[in-house]
Structure 1
Amino acid sequence: MGIAQIVGLALLLGCVVIGWLAMRRLSLVRSGGVDVSLRRVRASAPKSTRNWNLGVAHYVNDDFVWFRIISLGRRANVTLSRRDLEIIDRRRPGSTEEYVVPPDSTVLRCRDGQRTVELAMTPGVLTGFLSWLEARPPGNLGDYPQAS
């Protein structure tokens, strides 16, 4: 096998992977997904533009399910429960973040139990997210006795 054939095979493989990722994103968006960038926040890590990931999110009952775009896996990468989700802070992206999050985004810092994440959303997606979050039933429905 010559060098040209190896390079051709590598290019073909690269095109197949890129095609798979494009089809995956298209499938996620067509099935009701919205574009959301996510960053996991760690107390020890300094604030930077690193660790932002592009993704598509779905609302599944009481869960906000997020899929990373650049991933060959089919399962959700992050699931946030609406019952435990709390918005801690809301801000505009910093000057260095404007290049890694969608244009015109708002960044929400959210806590889901012990985990803290930042979500970057465009205005339309933000409106839908806040509506979904505010529509949660009051209290913990799991405490009510079941009807017999």
Structure 2
Amino acid sequence: MVLVVVVVVAVLLAALLGLGAFAMRRRLIQRVGGTFDCSARLRVAALPGVPGLPVPDAGPDAPLPSGSAPAPSGSAVDNGGKGWLFGIARYNRDSVEWFRVFSYSPRPRRVLQRSRIEVLHRRTPVGQEELALLSGAVVLVCRHAGEPLELAMSEDALTGFLAWLEAAPPGQRVNVA
């Protein structure tokens, strides 16, 4: 009986330490400043004939947010909102470092260089994506170094992200839709 109590206490202590490590890691990432919640879909299917452009989740008649460019026509494949990873993004000079929320790694999972980010269009989450993303998120369809990428963030974070992209030093190209 004593062994069972010791094992239960050890398991609970390990779980608390694990949760504490998540909280401490997030605090350390945010300590530097310039962070925002940002989900990412790193593996995005591409439309035939349009290299690097992700397949839209909505049909051609789906409404787009104001200022959005429509996605090229083609057969859309609904992936059911799968592939999204919750994360925290942090501005670091001329790059954005993206960290997974549920990870113990102190290093960013992806580093997005400002000069290599190309914003293709923005859209609202549709279907199962609405459940997979934080409430009020806007999906930004991008290309980074030729690879398709989708980022989902709040309207406020999107405004800051686009302003950061446009504030590139003189001589750098800016690719904002």
TM tier, smaller: 0.7 to 0.9
* Structure 1 residues 8 and 71, CA gap change in structure 2 (3 angstroms): same
Distance 1:70 1:38, change over 3 A: same
- Identity rate of aligned residues, in percent? 37
Question: TM (normalized to structure 2)?
Answer: 0.72
Q: Among 70, 80, 89, which residue is 1:48 paired with? A: 80
2:36 is the counterpart of 1:4: no
Provide Cα deviations, 1:97-146, integer angstroms capped at 9, x if missing partner: 122212111000111113221111101101100000111135459xxxxx
Greater strand content: 1
Q: Distance in 1 between matches of 2:80 and 2:32?
A: 32
Give the 5 Å matches for 1:71-82.
71-82=103-114
Question: Where does structure 1 differ by over 6 angstroms across 4 or more consecutive aligned residues?
Answer: none
- Aligned residue for 1:18? 19
Query: Which residue number corresponds to residue 37 of structure 1?
Result: 39
Quick one: which amino acid aligns to residue 113 of structure 1?
A
Deviation for aligned residue 1:28: 2.2
What is residue 68 of structure 1 aligned with on the other side? 100
**Are 2:150 and 1:124 aligned?**
no
One-letter amino acid of the counterpart of residue 97, structure 2? V
Q: Deviations over 1:73-115 (max 9, x none)?
A: 1001011111011012210011311222121110001111132
Structure 2 residue runs of 5 or longer lacking an equivalent are 47-76
| 2:136 pairs with one of 84, 104, 116 | 104
Which ranges of structure 1 fall in alignment gaps of 5 or more residues?
Answer: 142-148
| Residue of structure 2 in register with 1:137 after alignment | 169
TM-score by length of 1: 0.84
Moved more, 126-135 or 15-24: 15-24
Aligned-residue Cα RMSD (Å) equals: 2.1
Secondary structure in 1 matching 2:162: helix
